[in-house]
Structure 1
Amino acid sequence: MEKQLIRNIMKSYDYPLIISVWMLAIFGLIMVYSSSMVSAVTRFGVPSDYFYEKQKLWLIASVAFFLLSAIIPYKILLRKKVVKVIFVISPLMLIAVDFIGHTANNATSWFRFGFFSVQPAELVKLGLIVYLAAAFANKQRRMEQSIKGQLFPIYYTLGICFLIAIQPDFGTAMIVLLIASCIILSSGLKFRLLFKQVLFFGIIALACAPFTLPFIWDKIFSKERISRIYGFLDPFKYSDDAGFQLVNSYLAIGLGGLKGVGLGKSIQKYGYLPESHTDFIMAIIAEELGLFGVAFVLLLLAFIVLRGLYIARKCDDAFGSLLAIGISSMIGIHTFINIGGVTGLIPITGVPLPLVSYGGSALVLFMTSLGVLVNISMFTKYEAKYKHVHKEKIIKKQSEKGLTF
C-alpha cells in the first residue's frame, strides 16, 4: 500500500516544469561563467572563475531548497504558527538591515556573512506571497470579516514596500507591490472596495507631499536615478555616461544576430557592460548565442509562468491557487523588467533575470518558490487522479474486516 502510494506521488510530479527549471538554472551557471570571466580579473582582481564558483555553491544550496519545498506539503505554510512567523520576521529583517546591513551601490540592502551576502528583500518576496495567499485563502471567512480585516493585508504590503523603499531600493519595492497586486486582484476582493482604498491613499499622499517631499526628494530623485531616466530617454546622447550600458547592450544584441558570435566569444563583456553577469546577462546571451539563445531562455521562462498559472487554475485549494499565482507573477514580472531594461523598453532598475543572472539570494528565492509550485502541482494532480482510488481501497479493506456500519 505504501509503495503504491509513493509510486503514485512520484507519478504526480510535474516533470516538464522540473526539467525546465533545472535546465534554466544550469544554463544560467554556464552563462555566469562566460559573462563574468573577464570582469572578474580586470575589474575585481579575482580569478576568472570566482563568480562561477560562488554561483555554483549557491546553486547547490538552491537545489537543496528546491527539493525540500517540492517534497514538504505546501499546506504546512498555511498553519497559523508559520504565517505568524513570516508576518513578524519579514518586517524585522527589513528594519534590521538598516542598522547592521552592508551598503552596496548606494543602498543598505544586504546582510554580510563572511564571503556571502544575503538580501533580505529577496527572501521577503516569498514570505509576502505566502502571507497574502493565506490571508485571502478563505473567501467565506474574509467576506464575514469587517472592512478593516479585509484590507489589513493591503496595509501590511504597503508597510513592507515602504521598508524596502527607504533602503533605498525603489525597484524591488515596486516589484513587491506588483506581485502583491496580482494576488490581491485574484483573491476575489471587491474592486469597488480596492478602488476606494487606492483613491484614499492617493489623496493622503497628495496632502502629505508638501511636508514629506523636502525630506525624501534627494532619495527619490537622486542624481543617479535622474541620470538613469536621461539614459533611458536618449541613450546615444549620454553614451559616455548614463546611456553607456544601454548603448552597449544594443551593440551586443546587434552583434549576436541570429546565431551569435559563439559561447565565450563576447566582445561587450570586455569592460563595456560592467554588469554583464547580473542585470545585463541577457545582452551577453544575445551576443554569444544570438536569437536562438534568447529564444531558449524566454521560452523556458514563459513555459514556467504559464505552467504556474495553469496549476493555479487547476488547483481546487484557494491557498494553493493564490500561492501559484504569486510565484508565477513574480517570475513573470522579474523577467519583463529585466528584459525591458536590457532592451530599453523601460528604465534600468537592476533586476536580475530569474534563474540566470548571478546572485545567491535571488537564486535561492526562485528555486525555493518554484519548488513550492512543483509541490502544488503534484498535490493537485494526485488528488484529481489517485485520491478517490485510495479512498475506495480503504473502504473496501474496512468492509472486509467488518469495520463499516
Structure 2
Amino acid sequence: MKYSFVKDNDWLLILTVFALASFGVLMVFSSSYVEGIYMGEGGTGDPYFFLKRQAVWFLLATGFFLFFMHFNYQIFKKLSPFILVLSFISLGLVLIGFGSTGGGAQRWLQLGPIRLQPSEFVKLGMVIYLAQVYSQKQVYIHKFIRGVLPPLIVVGLVFILIMLQPDFGTATAILMVTFFIIFLSGARWPHLLGLGLVGSSLFITLAVAAPYRFRRLTSFSDPFSDPLNDGLQLIQGYIAFAHGGLTGTGLGGSVQKLLYLPEAHTDFILAIISEELGILGVLFVIGCYGVILFRGVVIGIRCKTPFGSLLAFGIVFQLAIQVVFNIGAVSGLLPITGITLPLVSNGGSSLLVTMISIAILASISRSNIRQSRLKLDQEDQIKTA
C-alpha cells in the first residue's frame, strides 16, 4: 500500500503542536526582550537575544520533528541499549567537569556555541528504554524479581546522577513515569503499592534533607510569609494574573516582565501570557495541551503492539507531568520545581526533546492509520472477490 502524506498523518496533532510552539516563540520574545537589554547573558544588551536563540532551536526542532514523524518507531527497540548508554555518558559528563553551571546547579553541557541539558534527553530516553524492556516482560510481569525489579536498578542509577546535579523536579518526574509504565505493563497491585510507598518515602526524605528544597516545597502554601525571598516569584506571578484579567493588557504590555518577575520567559512564562493575553490566552495554551494529550491517549489505545502502546502512553504521561507541574507551580497549587512549560518556555533542549517526543507519537499514529487502511482495503477485496 502506497504511503499517503495527506491520509496517513495525524494532522490535528501536528498542527496543534506547531501552533503552540510558534506561539511559544512569540511569547518568549515578548517576555524576555527587557531582560535581553538589561540582563542578557554576557551583557549582550540585545532585546532580540532570547528570540533569536529560541527561533534557531525552533527551526532545528522542526527538522527533527519532520524526520522522526516519518521514522519507524519500532527501530527504537533496537536502539534502546545505545540510547541508555548515551544517557549515562551524558549525565556523567555533566558531573565530571564538562558541565556548565547556572542557577546554582550543574545541569548543562557546553558544546561550543550549543548548550544542552542532558536530563531533558534522558527523560525521553528512559521512556523508550522502559517501554522496550517492559514490553518484553509481559509474560512474567507478575513476578517482582524477574519482571519488575531489573529495570528499576537502571532507573535508580539515573535518578542518582540527576539528583547530583541537582535536579529534583526532573528526577521526580522520571520516577513518576516509571511507576506509570509499570502500572500499564500489568504489574500486581501489591508490587505497585510497595513501589508507591518506597517512592513516597524517598521523596519526603530528599525534600527534608536539603533546607533550600524544603523551603521551596513549603513556601507555595504561604508565599506572603517570606515575600522578598522564597515567596517573591509566586507573589509576582499572582500580580501578573491579577493584572491580566480576562483579555489581558495586550501583547507586549506586561509590567511584571520589567524585571519584577524572576524567570519570566522560562518557568513563569504562563504568568506573562495571562497578563498580556488574559485568561483567554491561558485557555488557548491549556486547550492545545488538551488536544495533544487526548490525541496521544487515542494513539496509545489504538496501537496494537505492546512497545508502541507503552511508548505512546509514556510520552503522554511525561508531557502531562510537565504541564501539571508547571501550571500548578505558577498558580500556587503545587511547589515550584523549576520544570518549564513544554513547547512554550524558553529553552532549546526542552523544545527539541518535546518536539521529538510528539513526533514519535505522530509516527505511531501514522502506523495505526496505515494498519487501519490496510485492514479496510483487505475487507473491500474480500467483499468484491
Above 0.5 in TM-score? Answer: yes
The equivalent of 2:51 in structure 1 is: 52
Structure 1 residues 229 and 154: alpha-carbon distance in aligned structure 2, compared to 1, 3 A threshold: closer
Note if 1:180 corresponds to 2:178: yes
Structure 1 residues 18 and 105: alpha-carbon distance in aligned structure 2, compared to 1, 3 A threshold: same
Shift of 1:302: 1.4
Q: Which runs of 4+ in 1 moved over 6 A?
A: 200-203, 390-393
2:366 maps to a residue whose letter is M
Identity over aligned pairs, percent: 39
Q: Secondary structure at the match of 2:181?
A: helix
The equivalent of 1:91 in structure 2 is: 88
Q: Distance in 1 between matches of 2:104 and 2:226?
A: 22
The equivalent of 1:41 in structure 2 is: 37
Correspondence for 1:269 among 246, 254, 257: 257
Q: Is the 8 A contact 1:277 1:358 kept in 2?
A: yes
1:102 maps to a residue whose letter is S
Correspondence for 2:25 among 29, 42, 49: 29
Q: Distance in 2 between matches of 1:316 and 1:97?
A: 39
Q: What are the within-5 Å matches in structure 2 for residues 106-125 of structure 1? A: 106-125=104-123
Note if 1:195 corresponds to 2:168: no
Q: Secondary structure at the match of 1:236?
A: helix
Q: Is the 8 A contact 1:230 1:242 kept in 2?
A: no
Q: Distance in 2 between matches of 1:303 and 1:232?
A: 29
Correspondence for 1:103 among 98, 101, 104: 101
Q: Is the 8 A contact 2:138 2:185 kept in 1?
A: no
Q: Distance in 2 between matches of 1:136 and 1:385?
A: 29
Q: Distance in 2 between matches of 1:352 and 1:58?
A: 16
Q: Distance in 1 between matches of 2:242 and 2:236?
A: 10
Structure 1 residues 368 and 201: alpha-carbon distance in aligned structure 2, compared to 1, 3 A threshold: closer
Q: Distance in 1 between matches of 2:296 and 2:137?
A: 21
Note if 1:62 corresponds to 2:61: yes
Q: Distance in 2 between matches of 1:104 and 1:54?
A: 17
Shift of 1:140: 4.3
Shift of 1:200: 7.0
Structure 1 residues 202 and 10: alpha-carbon distance in aligned structure 2, compared to 1, 3 A threshold: closer
Q: How many residues in Structure 1 have an aligned counterpart in Structure 2?
A: 380
Q: Is the 8 A contact 2:144 2:191 kept in 1?
A: no
Q: Distance in 1 between matches of 2:352 and 2:172?
A: 20
Structure 1 residues 51 and 199: alpha-carbon distance in aligned structure 2, compared to 1, 3 A threshold: closer
Q: What are the within-5 Å matches in structure 2 for residues 74-89 of structure 1? A: 74-79=73-78, 82-89=79-86
Note if 1:242 corresponds to 2:239: no
Q: Distance in 2 between matches of 1:245 and 1:342?
A: 9
The equivalent of 1:335 in structure 2 is: 323
Structure whose CA Rg is larger: 1
Structure 2, unaligned runs of 5 or more: none
Please report the TM-score for the alignment, with normalisation by the length of structure 2.
Answer: 0.92
2:165 maps to a residue whose letter is Q
2:374 maps to a residue whose letter is Y
Shift of 1:193: 2.9
Q: Secondary structure at the match of 2:223?
A: coil
Q: Is the 8 A contact 2:141 2:185 kept in 1?
A: no
2:92 maps to a residue whose letter is I
Note if 1:251 corresponds to 2:251: no
Q: Distance in 1 between matches of 2:262 and 2:145?
A: 49
Q: Is the 8 A contact 2:131 2:311 kept in 1?
A: yes
**Higher deviation after alignment, 239-248 or 132-141:** 132-141
Structure 1 residues 147 and 284: alpha-carbon distance in aligned structure 2, compared to 1, 3 A threshold: same
CA RMSD for the aligned pairs?
A: 2.6
Please report the TM-score for the alignment, with normalisation by the length of structure 1.
Answer: 0.87
Q: Distance in 1 between matches of 2:221 and 2:147?
A: 43
Q: Cα deviations across residues 155-196 of structure 1 (Å, max 9, x unaligned)?
A: 221221121111111111001111222211111122223334
The equivalent of 2:152 in structure 1 is: 154
**Higher deviation after alignment, 380-389 or 184-193:** 380-389
Shift of 1:259: 0.4
Correspondence for 1:374 among 353, 359, 362: 362
The equivalent of 1:403 in structure 2 is: none
The equivalent of 1:134 in structure 2 is: 132
Q: Secondary structure at the match of 1:33?
A: helix
Q: Distance in 1 between matches of 2:275 and 2:111?
A: 35
Note if 1:283 corresponds to 2:281: no
Q: Distance in 1 between matches of 2:139 and 2:95?
A: 37
